[in-house]
Amino acid sequence: MTHPAPATIRVLIVDDQSLIRLGFRMVLDADPGIEVVGEAADGAAGLAAVASLHPDVVLMDVRMPGMDGIEATRRITAEHPAAAVLVLTTFDLDEYAFGAIRAGAGGFLLKDARGDELVAAVRAVAAGDATLSPRVTRRMIELFGAAGLPTASSRTDALTGREQEVLDAMAAGMTNPEIAARLFLSESTVKTHIGRILTKLPARDRVHAVLIAHGLAEPAIGP
């Protein structure tokens, strides 16, 4: 759920390629509100680093030797829920995107994203807002929207008509300002609706809410 991002966002980079880690570090260290606190070359080392460094955000590669990024994400979100995971990969194949999201990732971006997109994604997941590559969002719509996958009505029946409209816009990958413009609402009202949607489903973030509504993920457990 959305919450204020820390004054300085602590980031751990997990990737088996040293040059990739260096590139991410250079981009993120250039932002005064972000501090790279550590690096790891595989999922197991990343999991250990999360336990010792307590980062706010983990940049996680998917394809790594040993423990891959999806399993590492699953372990981190289960054992260290305060750390948000932003998965990055050179591949936009569905199995990686959906596997990472189902494992609890707060975001998914391709490694060819621009530096400003990376920084924005780190800030978004640190604040509890899930973020997806536009390509991944479009693919989700193609697979699950155009295919007419039935919604889990038992989950969405509790939503008001306006909340369902907001959820539909979230499923289209729209940002809060875009949702506000489409529905002629203020951004603060959109945030209120999203908060209620997350509580009613219940979901940990907006992407999780969309997956729950389409029967593709289980509701969150606990508060």
Q: What is the CATH number of the domain that holds 24?
A: 3.40.50.2300
Domain co-membership, 38 together with 124: yes
Handedness of CA 145, 201, 119, 71 (dihedral sign): negative
Partners of 107 in the beta sheet?
Answer: 86, 131
pLDDT in tens, 6-27: 689 999 999 999 999 999 999 9
Q: Let me know how long the chain is.
A: 223
Helices 69-79 and 94-102, axial angle in degrees (round to 10): 10
Is residue 218 a part of any domain in this protein?
no
Q: End of a domain among 77, 107, 133?
A: 133
List the domain range (segments joined by +) for residue 72: 9-133
Is residue 64 within 8 A of residue 45, CB to CB? The reply is: no
Domain co-membership, 53 together with 14: yes
pLDDT at 146: 47
Tokens 């999922």 appear where?
43
Taking residues 20-48, what's their average pLDDT? 95
Looking at per-residue confidence, does 128 or 105 come out higher? 105
Identify the band that residue 131 occupies on the pLDDT scale cut at 50, 70 and 90.
Answer: low
Domain co-membership, 25 together with 124: yes
Is residue 16 a part of any domain in this protein?
yes
